[in-house]
Amino acid sequence: MTKPVFDFDDGRFLFPFSDTMGTDADGHLLLRLSDCCAMNLDSGGLHLLSGWDDDRDGRDDGWDD
The model's pTM: 0.73
Share above pLDDT 70 across residues of the chain, in percent, rounded to a whole number: 77
Nearest-angstrom CA–CA distance, 59 and 65? 10
**pLDDT (tens digit per residue) in 27-56:** 999 999 998 999 999 999 999 999 776 555
The verdict on residue 15 lying in a domain is: yes
Give me the domain span that covers residue 29: 5-54
For 20, phi then psi, to 5°, come to -125, -5
Q: How many domains does the chain have?
A: 1
The verdict on residue 35 lying in a domain is: yes
10 Cβ contact partners less than 8 Å away, ≥ 6 residues apart: 24, 47
The verdict on residue 61 lying in a domain is: no
The verdict on residue 33 lying in a domain is: yes
The verdict on residue 64 lying in a domain is: no
The verdict on residue 34 lying in a domain is: yes
